[in-house]
Amino acid sequence: MVSIFGVPSVLLYGQLLVGLINGSFYAMMSLGVAIIFGMLRIGNFVHGAQYMLGAFGAWYLLHLPEIFPGLGLPALNYWWALILVPLLVGLIGALMERIFIRRVYDLDHAYGLLLTVGLAMLIEGLFNVRYGSAGQQYDVPQSLQGAINLGFMYLPIYRGWVIAMALLTCLATWYLIERTKLGSYLRAATENPDLLRAFGINVPRMLMLTYAFGVGLAGLAGVMAAPIYQVGPQMGQSIVITTFAVVVIGGMGSIFGAIVSGLMMGVIEGLTKVFYPQASSTIIFVIMAIVLVLRPAGLFGRDTQAHSIADVSSGRADSILENGRLWFVLMLGIGLALPFLMFPILAMKILIMAIFAMGYNIIFGYGGLLAFGHAAFFGTASYIAAQMAAVWGVPPELCLLAGVAGSSVLGLLFGWLAIRRQGLYFAMITLALAQIVYFYAVQASWTHGEDGIQSVPRGVFLGMIDLSRPLGMYFTTLAFFLTAFVFVYRVVHSPFGQTLKSIRESEQRSVSLGYSVNDFKLIAFVLSAALAGLAGGLNAIVFQIASLSDVYFMNSANALLMTLIGGVGTLLGPIVGAAVLVTLETRLATFGSWVVVMQGLIFVLCVLFLRKGIIGTLQEYASNRRIRRNLEGQAEPHPRGKPAEIAS
């Protein structure tokens, strides 16, 4: 058998083929994301769900007689699906843009990303309710079955067709955008829409068609993927995260960069499977980190300024909702009574998630940076605490301390890489870096994969408090929660916190005043990671398990959702959001898969109608009422005459 670099040639060529196929899908998916971001400035996280819709669309067309038995509809094969499904998915995208996406064009870019995250959860959740986690089989069309003998390997005809079709689609799209009059109109619609309207062009319609075209590319990729991968509700989750990493490598908004980087990353991933299989799932994210160090704008991107989120609730220091001393006393009283009003385990879950959300609020609410990787800090501390307690027999206080230290170091590394960019770039970088931690947890032997570290002993805290007793564990958790609350209050009301909020409001002004904004952001990021680590360590000890769900992407989404529900940039918002979310999850647990659907719906509603959250809305209402009262008081006539008459 012929070998190359000590590797059998059949294995090497086979993995190169797999890499080219994966790279073809990465290129097509990245191309759609790049078009939508470049033209609309929307980070389309629902792209993975739209890719899944394309695969299911092909499957539906093939099973029309079974789905609608009484209508006499014929089964439409793969070739019909290639034509019809991208159009149908594009039409769904156009409706989605008209109903949802265009409502956030005038807002900070982060809200578009948040909205599409909610839409993705909603769509994938609905399909998961209907089909579960099982995949649906879609056979290779008969005309593309078989293989061709190339001499050094056999090339399956369908896989060769996928590579050729993907390349042709990418090149045609690049030519359309960069070399035609229509493409120039599309670019002008985002750069100077008022000028384009002066020429009589319907800009909103053009933006809708642009989004539909990008979505249609995802649908086409889904059709082409259906005969290779099983058609299932979760098939878009992993590829969309990889897609955003590829887009960051190529440069956000760069059409050419998306194509080249997608193909290149697919080949590199395939070669890694040959020479170092353990790193194949993380190599793209490692390359992304290296590229960010050397060229923060990406290989082919332009160094544009991305704004941080600014539409948040800034609570007045004199507001009753921002009175830390008052609320500490009230929460102490509520906390003492809580285990006698509900199950202590549920109360502890609320307290732990509140710590997690308070930590996230430091970087998102007060720092103005949308992060998507906090599950990495939560999960890292969870695994460290569980390993030390279950395997090494370390006391719980040292387990928690080690977990916080581990998450802080990881936060320092992530922050150092991520703060080089802002806005959507920052969000995607933190998400991609967190995926490295997730894949490590999947593969490492000491984490025990899907089983996790189980039967974690609670131990005796400080040699005095027996944590195996429910009330002992609860009041220890309450003490940590109150300590975290005081810590956050002191941080955000300190000179450091005030400077951090000024950076959020106007980074350029802060730079002009001589502040090192990156240092402030990095410190905030580390503090945020440390609190996430405290929550993760407590979670492992309270529930006596550390599992992959702790480091999974949805855990980061939960931190974000809790902060949104309660109120971004408010003192009480994360606590209220944690209480609401945990209560909803508990009440809706009997609905099974519907929980994700409802979480997605809450995401969408919060972004569209409750962007300031519960506490933020209350603060806004109180502030407006105070202003109206002052104006009414000024308008009342003076008892001795009109103010003008007195002045004269």
Considering only residues 50 and 505, tell me which one the structure prediction assigns the higher pLDDT.
Answer: 50
**pLDDT for 130-186, tens place per residue?**
888 778 899 999 999 998 887 777 888 999 999 999 999 999 999 988 888 877 877
CA 16 to chain centre: 30
Structural domains in the chain plus CATH codes: 14-294 (1.10.3470), 339-553 (no CATH)
507 pLDDT more than 90: no
pLDDT at 576 over 80: yes
Sign, Cα dihedral of 189, 190, 191, 197: positive
The string of pLDDT tens digits covering residues 511-559 is: 888 888 999 999 999 999 999 999 999 999 999 999 999 999 889 989 9
pLDDT at 635 (0 to 100): 64
Half-sphere exposure of 275 (CA within 13 A, CB side): 11
- Report pLDDT digits (tens) over 620-644: 888 788 777 877 777 665 555 444 4
pLDDT of residue 647: 40
Q: Per-residue pLDDT tens for 599-608?
A: 899 889 988 9
Least reliable range by pLDDT among 398-412, 497-511, 631-645: 631-645
Angle between the N-to-C axes of helices 396-418 and 517-543, in degrees from 0 to 180, rounded to the nearest 10: 150
Residue 402, pLDDT > 80, answer yes
Interatomic CA distance for residues 222 and 25, integer angstroms: 9
Percent of the chain with pLDDT over 90: 56
**Joined tokens for residue 227:** 């005969």
CB 251 within 8 A of CB 302: yes
Quote the pLDDT of residue 7.
Answer: 60
At a CB cut-off of 8 Å and minimum separation 6, what does 203 contact? 189, 193, 196, 197
Cβ(561)–Cβ(577) below 8 Å: yes
pLDDT of residue 39: 78
Q: Tokens 């402030």 belong to which residue?
A: 520
What is 114-166 written as a DSSP string? HHHHHHHHHHHHHHHHHHTT--B--PPPGGG-SEEE-SSSEEEHHHHHHHHHH
Spatial contact of 216 and 90, defined as CB atoms under 8 Å apart: yes
Q: Tokens 């000890």 sit at which residue? A: 541
Average pLDDT of span 79-83: 95
State residue 24's pLDDT score: 93
d(CA 484, CA 536): 13
Residue 72's pLDDT band (cuts 50, 70, 90): confident
Rounded mean pLDDT of 191-218? 81
> And the tokens for 465?
């408090």
pLDDT mean over 495-515: 88
Amino acid identity, position 335: G
Summarize pLDDT for 292-342 with one digit per residue, the tens.
878 878 888 765 554 445 455 555 555 788 888 999 999 999 999 999 999
Q: 45-49, 64-68, 403-407: which has the minimum mean pLDDT?
A: 64-68
Inform me whether the pLDDT recorded for 397 exceeds 90. yes
**Structure confidence at residue 6 as a pLDDT band (50, 70, 90):** low
Would you list the DSSP string of 240-265? HHHHHHHHHHH-TT-HHHHHHHHHHH
Cα–Cα–Cα angle for 91, 115, 287, rounded to 5 degrees = 95
* pLDDT class of 275 with cuts at 50, 70, 90: confident
Whole-number pLDDT of residue 644: 43
Query: 192: pLDDT confidence band, cut at 50, 70 and 90?
Result: low
What is the predicted pLDDT for the residue at 112? Answer: 87
207: pLDDT strictly greater than 90 = no
List the beta bridge partners of residue 148: 155
C-alpha triplet 417, 404, 326: angle, nearest 5° = 105
Specify the pLDDT at position 109.
76
Mean pLDDT calculated for residue range 40-67? 92
Say how far apart CA 14 and CA 150 lie, in whole Å: 12
The rounded percent of the chain whose pLDDT value lies above 70 is 92
Q: For residue 125, give both structure tokens.
A: 């959740």
HSE, CB side, 13 Å, CA atoms: give it for residue 343. Answer: 6
Are the C-beta atoms of 478 and 335 separated by less than 8 Å?
yes
Does the pTM surpass 0.75? The reply is yes
Per residue in 29-45, pLDDT (tens digit) is 999 998 888 778 888 99
472: pLDDT strictly greater than 50: yes
The amino acid occupying position 409 is V
Q: Tell me the pLDDT of the chain averaged across its residues.
A: 88
Q: Which of 160, 471, 174, 479 is nearest to 344 (CA)?
A: 471
Q: How confident is the model at residue 648 (pLDDT cuts 50, 70, 90)?
A: very low
DSSP-based helix, strand, coil % in the chain, nearest 5: 75, 5, 25
Please tell me whether residue 276 adopts helix, strand or coil conformation.
coil
Q: Which helix (DSSP H) or strand (DSSP E) does residue 466 occupy?
A: strand 465-466
pLDDT of residue 646: 38
Whether the Cβ atoms of residue 433 and residue 373 lie closer than 8 Å to each other: yes
- Integer-rounded Cα radius of gyration of the chain: 27
Place of tokens 């955008």: 177
